[in-house]
């Protein structure tokens, strides 16, 4: 049971709950899909199941998230002036989306520099209090790389199209990408925020041979962990003070009552005395 003052106002949280926006649109029957365009210098149209879904989609842009029913989707990329998806420059490829999951599809270069489609599953598990999640994906035409945070390698030997994941304390890290076994950045450094309850996905994309390697960043809000409670009193002084105040009231009340009854008795006696007299 809880007790609330403030008559006429519903206790704060029943009120607030009504305004909480849905987080991801993910439901027991749908999945979230985002799409990252990581092929340099090649704007495209994106067709999903034969329907134009992204028009004139530019390299470096991130689309979505789309809330889609679980199932298979045929994805094809065409030139931007195509009338339909009959002559794709990439695909068609089948993406299988499971309900309750978050995905990012990337159109990117493989290690050798050929266009490729990849489907990554985003880890949307709840983070611990004070922690954020970092995922790094190698979708660049480049050999194995190390990921540096503050100059020190935190992920080593990452190859296209793999990913690595770690949970980190909240804060800002200076992230850079170096060829595996080296500490000389080929991308970055760039400041990347690690936020409580947020998955930050960093993509290394572009082409080493063409000198256009770059970082792309996607953030996905995942569950955070609220503190388990707020133990905010350890001495009991306030409770003691309350008890004493209460005791004073009771004692005071008793005195007053006693005095009143004495008065009545006295009055009665004196009256009786008068009658006797």
Q: Which of residues 67-96 bind other proteins (CB under 8 A)?
A: 80-81, 83-84
Using CB under 8 A, count the residues that bind other proteins: 87
Cβ 151 to other proteins shortest distance, Å: 18
Cβ 135 to other proteins shortest distance, Å: 14
Write the Ramachandran bin of 276: left for phi over 0, alpha for psi from -120 to 50, otherwise beta. Answer: alpha
H or E element, residue 276? helix 237-276
What is the C-alpha to C-alpha distance for residues 98 and 126, in angstroms, rounded to an integer?
19
Cβ 46 to other proteins shortest distance, Å: 9
Contacts of 131 (CB under 8 A, 6+ apart): 167, 168, 169, 170, 194, 196
User: What value, to the nearest 5°, has the Cα angle with vertex 192 and ends 190 and 194?
Assistant: 165
Q: Which is nearer to other proteins, 124 or 178 (CB)?
A: 124
CA 136 to centroid of chain Cα atoms: 16
The pair of three-digit structure tokens given for residue 274, joined into one six-digit string: 């008068």
Q: Which is nearer to other proteins, 116 or 203 (CB)?
A: 203
The pair of three-digit structure tokens given for residue 149, joined into one six-digit string: 């945070």
Cβ 268 to other proteins shortest distance, Å: 29
Cβ 195 to other proteins shortest distance, Å: 7
Q: Within a 10 A sphere around the Cβ of 181, how many other Cβ atoms?
A: 11
2 counts as binding other proteins under rule CB under 8 A: yes
Binding test (CB under 8 A) with other proteins, winner from 51, 72, 184, 276: 51
Binding test (CB under 8 A) with other proteins, winner from 1, 152, 275, 277: 1
Site string for other proteins, 113-152 (x = CB under 8 A): -------------x--xx----------------------
Q: Which of residues 207-246 bind other proteins (CB under 8 A)?
A: 214-218, 220-242, 245-246
255 counts as binding other proteins under rule CB under 8 A: no
Q: How far is CA 88 from CA 48, 92, 140, 201, in A?
A: 12, 7, 21, 28
Q: Which of residues 148-187 bind other proteins (CB under 8 A)?
A: 170, 172
The pair of three-digit structure tokens given for residue 158, joined into one six-digit string: 């990452």
98 counts as binding other proteins under rule CB under 8 A: no
User: What value, to the nearest 5°, has the Cα angle with vertex 47 and ends 42 and 49?
Assistant: 155
57 counts as binding other proteins under rule CB under 8 A: yes
Cβ 251 to other proteins shortest distance, Å: 12
């Amino acid at each position: 049971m809880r007790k609330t003052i403030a008559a006429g106002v519903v206790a704060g949280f029943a009120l607030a709950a009504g305004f909480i926006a849905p987080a991801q649109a993910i439901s027991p029957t749908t999945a979230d899909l985002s799409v990252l365009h990581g092929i340099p210098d090649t704007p495209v149209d994106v067709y999903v199941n034969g329907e134009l879904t992204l028009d004139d989609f530019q390299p470096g842009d991130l689309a979505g998230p789309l809330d889609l029913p679980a199932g298979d989707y045929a994805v094809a990329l065409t030139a931007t002036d195509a009338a339909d998806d009959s002559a794709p420059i990439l695909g068609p490829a089948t993406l299988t989306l499971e309900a309750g999951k978050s995905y990012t599809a990337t159109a990117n270069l493989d290690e050798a520099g050929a266009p490729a489609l990849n489907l990554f599953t985003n880890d949307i598990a709840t983070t611990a209090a004070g922690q954020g999640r970092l995922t790094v994906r190698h979708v660049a035409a480049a050999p194995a790389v190390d990921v540096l945070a503050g100059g020190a390698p935190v992920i080593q030997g990452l190859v296209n199209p793999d990913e690595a994941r770690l949970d980190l304390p909240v804060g800002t890290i200076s992230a850079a990408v170096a060829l595996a076994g080296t500490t000389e950045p080929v991308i970055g450094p760039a400041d990347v925020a690690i936020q409580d309850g947020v998955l930050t996905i960093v993509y290394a994309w572009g082409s080493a041979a063409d000198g256009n390697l770059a970082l792309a960043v996607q953030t996905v809000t995942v569950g955070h962990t609220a503190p388990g409670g707020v133990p905010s009193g350890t001495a009991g002084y306030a409770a003691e003070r309350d008890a004493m105040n209460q005791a004073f009231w009771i004692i005071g009340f008793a005195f007053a009552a006693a005095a009143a009854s004495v008065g009545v008795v006295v009055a009665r006696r004196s009256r009786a005395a008068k009658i006797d007299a």
